[in-house]
Amino acid sequence: MDKVDLSQFQFEGLEAQHLSDLRSLDEHDRERLLMSGVDVSELGRSGSFLHMDHAEAYCNTKNEGVEIMDIKDALKKYDGLPEYFWKLVDKDKDDYTRKANEVLQGGYFIRTRPGAKIKEPVQSCLFIKSQKAGQSVHNIVIVEEDSELHIITGCAVSRDTQSSAHIGISEFFVKKNAKLTFTMVHNWGENVSVVPRSAGVIEEGGVFQNNYVLLKPVKYLQMYPTLTLAGRGAVARFNSVMVAPKGSHIDSGNRIILNAPDTRGEIISRTISTGGTIIARGDIQAYAVPARGHLECKGLILGGGVIHAIPELKGAAEGVELSHEAAVGKIAQEEIEYLMARGLDEEEATSTIVRGFLNVDIMGLPAKLKESIDRTIEESQKDMF
Amino acid sequence: MLHIENLHVKIGEREVLNGIDLHIKEGETFILFGPNGSGKTSLLMTLMGFGNYTVTEGKIVFKGQDITAATTYERARLGLGMSFQRPPTIHGLPVRQMLKLIARGRDVDLEGMARQVNFHQFLERDVNAGFSGGEIKRSEILQLMAQKPSLVLFDEPESGVDLENMALIGRTVRELIENGRTPEPGHSMKELRARRQTSGLIITHTGYILDYITADRGQVLYNGHLCCEDSPRRILEHIRQYGYKECVRCLRVPAGLADAPQE
């Protein structure tokens, strides 16, 4: 798979109009947002952020414990964010990071107050509406000491958008005893190329739970978010669910670096190919003890395609405990027959098993988002059998 | 309820059942004995219609319908219910959700049923994930309670179950098959028994289950043949004393003499 040719896309000049209300989006766009976990009514949300094409379109904070603004405003307000901006991701890593450094369209800056437990999620959406649009955003999330935050971020393209590209730099800072749940739902299109570059650092006693859901086609997705556990007792978890229909090329990994004693890392990925290609990578590295890590990547091939699971473990200290479990296969006939013996027909049985396999339940998502994901899984099952 | 006629079954090229005839009446409980590998589990699997078991001759009639070619779920919906001895784990499917799927929209008291088999603390666990032998049995019984079959196929209710759990499992199997009938004023037990609809076909090695249920008839399956019909208790005593070798002799005796006393 060739890299994304950035010269094919327009990175400037598509500044969206500012919206006074998310409900002013048209029906199709609202629908796309909803599928990505973004509720335009903003009920049950602590705040919202929308970046459309090349600029911020909406930003609203409902909870004074959390600050949400466009990254450009944050850079101005906080003198360029010297402790955070380009601190975890190398701006010279590749063509995409260089492009992102060269063209900064926006992105979100989200920071909690120390000790603030933000119960309702903050929602954000990076949306592409124009043809041939190249989106380049930079996001910074800071969860201050003893605070808690859940961010739901949906990335989507408008129904009519054909070809586009998205570069997203994300840097996460989870401070001492803080907790971040970050749920990302991708709804790109079959002509959209996506290259997120994400990294996070978790300090002592901090927890980072990262959920990733991709059920819709994408032309090309390549990412390898890395979380470093830098303080004693820090915990990181990745849960990913990916479906690749024909035409999708997904190269996606998760990396956890256990750099302090008493740290734990877990990577779980569930992938289904219905004709596309998935390279499911995973890497846990341990440089301190005691440290525990477990990596589980399981794939089902339903209706063609390729799944290439590449789990890696590196222990660099005596006493580390790292393990992995990888499987690529099909639905067991025995399981289908078991459910059929209880009265489920073959289709009900297989869809029940697939839904259980994808196991979105463990992500602990708000009911509405969970429903929307369940519906999308159901729709995508048409390609599976 | 169930009529099996001259049933021949193959797994691949190997014939595992060669000419089974078996009738089970409404409300009747039938016990199937037999050594390991004699074809007992194959018979149950064939009745349920699983893929590996190919009927080459004969037919299965259930509630008056020829189900020899029916799919597994059609049989289940018609009222055949089976307790698996080694069911697969279904990851990501909690027991509670499984029970709802089985009930198919019928209003059932899941909590109450689960408490009956002491399984309410497992409702949020994935089906069969890390269950012990006894937990698997309780889970299977609970699923059958939600399914309400009219013929229960039970493969070794006592396997992998400790003595303490055996009493619970024995009682609930009785509940499932005998619908918990106790004498009522104005009706004799005999009348109640006649009204009973649920039948059972139970495989047992140890016979412990016979302490809990009223089994009407029994037979030994040996090498793919059914033989030696008698009361289950008598068959059990006989096997305990002499093993299955007597069945071999019994099969050698020409038909017609097989029923004659052997001693």
Strands B225-230 and B217-222: what pairing?
antiparallel
Residues of A with Cβ-Cβ distance to B53 under 8 angstroms: none
pLDDT of residue B4: 95
Helix (H) or strand (E) holding A317: none
Range of the domain at B168: 2-86+149-252
Chain B residues contacting A via beta carbons under 8 Å: 48, 50-51, 71-73, 76-77, 81-82, 84, 87-88, 90-93, 98, 101-102, 104, 126, 143, 147
Which residue of chain A is at minimal alpha-carbon distance from B77?
A343
How many domains does the structure of chain B reveal? 1
Q: Check A348 against B82: CB less than 8 A apart.
A: no
Q: Per-residue pLDDT for chain A (385 aa), expressed as one digit of tens each?
A: 457 888 889 888 888 778 888 888 888 888 888 888 888 888 889 999 999 888 888 999 999 999 999 999 999 999 999 999 999 999 999 999 999 999 999 999 999 999 999 999 999 999 998 888 999 999 999 999 999 999 999 988 887 777 999 999 999 999 999 999 999 999 988 999 999 999 999 999 999 999 999 999 999 999 999 999 999 999 999 999 999 999 999 999 999 999 999 999 999 999 999 999 999 999 999 999 999 999 999 999 998 899 999 999 999 999 999 999 999 999 999 999 999 999 999 999 999 999 999 988 888 888 888 888 888 888 877 777 6
CB atoms B48 and A341 under 8 Å: yes
Handedness of CA B101, B106, B107, B108 (dihedral sign): negative
B260 pLDDT above the threshold of 70 = no
- The nearest CA of chain B is from the CA of A246 a distance in Å of 26
Band (B191; pLDDT cuts 50, 70, 90): low
Q: Report which secondary-structure segment, H or E, holds A166.
A: strand A164-174
User: Is residue B150 within 8 Å of residue B173, measured between CB atoms?
Assistant: no
* Closest CA–CA distance from residue B146 to any residue of chain A (Å): 9
CA atoms within 13 A on the CB side of B121: 3
What CATH number has the domain bearing residue B6?
3.40.50.300
- DSSP track, A262-308: TEEEEEEEEEEEEBSEEEEEEEEEE-SSSEEEEEEEEEEE-SS-EEE
Q: What is the CA radius of gyration of chain B?
A: 19
A364 touches B: beta carbon within 8 Å? no
Flag whether B6 is in a domain. Answer: yes
Q: Tell me how far apart the 2 most distant CA atoms of chain B are, in Å.
A: 58
Task: Please answer whether residues A354 and A272 qualify as being in contact, where contact means their C-beta atoms are separated by less than 8 angstroms.
Answer: yes
Establish if B26 belongs to a structural domain. Answer: yes
Q: Does A333 sit within 8 Å of B92, measured CB to CB?
A: no
pLDDT, one tens digit per residue, over A314-367 is: 999 999 999 999 999 999 999 999 999 999 999 999 999 999 999 888 888 888
- The single-letter DSSP state of residue A37 is T
Q: Which amino acid is at A309?
A: A
Note which residues in 317-346 of chain A have CB less than 8 A from chain B: 332-335, 337-346
Q: In this complex, do B84 and A334 lie within 8 Å of one another by their Cβ atoms?
A: no
Cα(A329)–Cα(A218) distance, rounded to whole angstroms? 23
State how far the Cα of A191 lies from the Cα of A248, in Å rounded to an integer.
9
- What ipTM was estimated for this complex? 0.89
Contact A260, A290 (CB under 8 A): no
B65-81: pLDDT as tens digits: 999 999 999 999 999 99
Contact between chains at B143 and A342 (C-beta distance less than 8 A) = yes
Alpha carbon of B257: minimum distance to chain A alpha carbons (Å):
39
Q: Is residue A138 within a helix (H) or strand (E), and if so which, with residue range?
A: strand A134-143
| Interchain CB distance below 8 Å, A345 and B88 | no
In the DSSP assignment, the letter for residue A78 is T
Query: Rounded mean pLDDT of B239-248?
Result: 79
Q: Which residues contact B105 (CB under 8 A, 6 or more apart)?
A: none
Band the pLDDT of B263: cuts 50, 70, 90: very low
3-state secondary structure chain B: CEEEEEEEEEECCEEEEEEEEEEECCCCEEEEECCCCCCHHHHHHHHHCCCCEEEEEEEEEECCEECCCCCHHHHHHHCEEEECCCCCCEEEEEHHHHHHHHHCCCCCCHHHHHHHCCCHHHCCCEECCCCCHHHHHHHHHHHHHHHCCCEEEEECCCCCCCHHHHHHHHHHHHHHHHCCCCCECCECHHHHHHHCCCEEEEECCCCHHHHCCCCCEEEEEECCEEEEEECHHHHHHHHHHHCCHHHHHHHHCCCCCCCCCCC
Cβ B71–A342 below 8 Å, yes or no? no
| C-alpha span between A168 and A105 (Å, rounded) | 10
Q: pLDDT at position B216, please?
A: 85
Q: Is the pLDDT of residue B253 over 90?
A: no
Largest CA distance in chain A: 66
Q: How confident is the model at residue B213 (pLDDT cuts 50, 70, 90)?
A: confident
- Report the C-alpha gap between A223 and B255 in whole angstroms: 74
Tokens of A142: 């800071």
Under 8 Å between Cβ of A297 and A332: no
What average pLDDT does range B240-248 have in this prediction?
78
Tokens of A374: 């369940």
Instruction: Round to whole Å and give the CA distance between A115 and A149.
Output: 11
CA distance A378 to A186: 16
Cα dihedral angle (B140, B145, B148, B151), rounded to 10 degrees? Answer: 50
- Test A361 with B92 for CB contact under 8 angstroms: yes
Query: Two tokens at A292?
Result: 């525990």
CA nearest A331 in B: which residue?
A: B90
Q: Is B130 exposed, middle or buried (0-12, 13-18, 19+ CB in 10 A)?
A: exposed
pLDDT, position B262: 44
- Asked if A357 and B104 come within 8 Å (Cβ–Cβ), the reply is no
CB of A282 closer than 8 Å to CB of A267: yes
| CA–CA dist B93, B127 (Å, integer) | 6
C-alpha–C-alpha distance, residues B228 and B220, integer Å? 6
Residue type, A209: Q
Residue B232 preceded by cis peptide, ω within 30: no
Q: Residue A367: its pLDDT value, please?
A: 85
Token pair of B135 as six digits: 């937990």
Distance of residue A28 Cα from the nearest chain B Cα, in angstroms: 32
User: Is there a domain that residue B53 lies in?
Assistant: yes
Q: Please state, rounded to an integer, the average pLDDT across all residues of chain B.
A: 86
* Chain-chain contact of A353 with B93 (C-beta, under 8 angstroms): yes
Q: Report whether A60 contacts A135 (CB < 8 A).
A: no
Answer whether residue B261 shows pLDDT above 50.
no
B73 belongs to a structural domain: yes
CA distances from A320 to A221, A256, A287, A291, A346 (A): 32, 14, 8, 5, 45
* Nearest chain A alpha carbon to B84: A338
- B212 within domain boundaries: yes
Q: Report, in angstroms and rounded to the nearest whole number, the Rg of chain A calculated over CA atoms.
A: 20
| Surface-to-core class of residue B134, CB atoms within 10 Å of its CB (0-12 exposed, 13-18 middle, 19+ buried) | middle
pLDDT of residue A219: 94
Taking the CA of residue B134 and the nearest CA in chain A, the distance in Å comes to: 19
- The rounded distance, in Å, linking the Cα atoms of A288 and A319 is 9
Q: How many CB pairs under 8 A join A and B?
A: 66
Burial of residue A45 (CB within 10 Å: 0-12, 13-18, 19+) is buried
**What's the pLDDT score for residue A182?**
97
Cβ atoms within 10 Å, residue A82: 10
Is B40 within a domain? yes
Inter-chain touch A332–B88, beta carbons under 8 Å: yes
Judge whether A357 is closer than 8 Å to chain B, CB to CB.
Answer: yes
Residue A150 DSSP symbol: E
Q: Which two tokens stand for residue A26?
A: 């048209």
Distance CA A35, CA A21 (A): 18
Q: Would you say residue B74 lies in a domain?
A: yes
What's residue B257's pLDDT? Answer: 47
Of the candidates A381, A377, A251, the one whose C-alpha atom is nearest the C-alpha of residue A306 is A251
| Cβ(A54)–Cβ(A16) below 8 Å | yes
Enumerate residues 6+ apart whose C-beta is below 8 A from B132: B160
Beta bridge partner(s), residue B196: none
